[in-house]
């Protein structure tokens, strides 16, 4: 998986890069089909509610892509919460795919058992 980082008004340190790479690589445990990840790190000192750091993550997957964003007063917590949102989306996607395949199998068995033809 390719990870592309775009810092905006932030100096990208090795620690930030390592943290983002570790968290995004962890997403491959939930879905091995991730093609690429684009992470945008924003700092805006004029934002309201004192949530200065904003993180946007875009995952390229076969089928619909996934997006998540979060804003916090700490960069690392914003990264963690955005990744957590993506984990929830990946779990939902995996469940949906599994249920769809199970449904197709159930319908095929029922058709065969009852002798229907569609």
What pLDDT sits at residue 66? Answer: 95
What pLDDT sits at residue 48? Answer: 66
What pLDDT sits at residue 116? Answer: 75
The alpha carbon of residue 36 and the mean position of all alpha carbons in its chain are separated, in whole angstroms, by 10
Domains and their CATH numbers in the chain = 2-87 (3.30.160.100)
What pLDDT sits at residue 118? Answer: 57
What pLDDT sits at residue 20? Answer: 96
| pLDDT per 10-residue tile (average), the chain, 118 residues | 93 95 93 93 81 94 94 94 96 90 88 78
What pLDDT sits at residue 69? Answer: 95
Nearest to 78 by CA among 101, 50, 99: 50
In the chain, DSSP assigns E strands to: 2-8, 36-43, 53-60, 66-72
Is the model's pTM score more than 0.85? no
């Amino acid at each position: 998986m390719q990870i592309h980082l775009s810092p905006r008004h932030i100096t990208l340190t090795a620690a930030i890069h390592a943290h983002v790479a570790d968290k995004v690589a962890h997403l491959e445990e939930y879905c091995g089909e991730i093609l690429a990840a684009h992470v945008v790190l924003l700092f805006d000192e004029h934002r309201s509610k004192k949530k200065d750091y904003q993180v946007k993550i875009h995952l390229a997957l076969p089928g619909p892509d996934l997006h998540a964003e979060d804003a916090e007063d700490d960069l690392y917590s914003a990264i963690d919460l955005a990744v957590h949102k993506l984990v929830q989306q990946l779990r939902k996607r995996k469940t949906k795919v599994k249920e769809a395949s199970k449904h197709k199998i159930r319908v095929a068995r029922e058709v065969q058992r009852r002798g229907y033809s569609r």
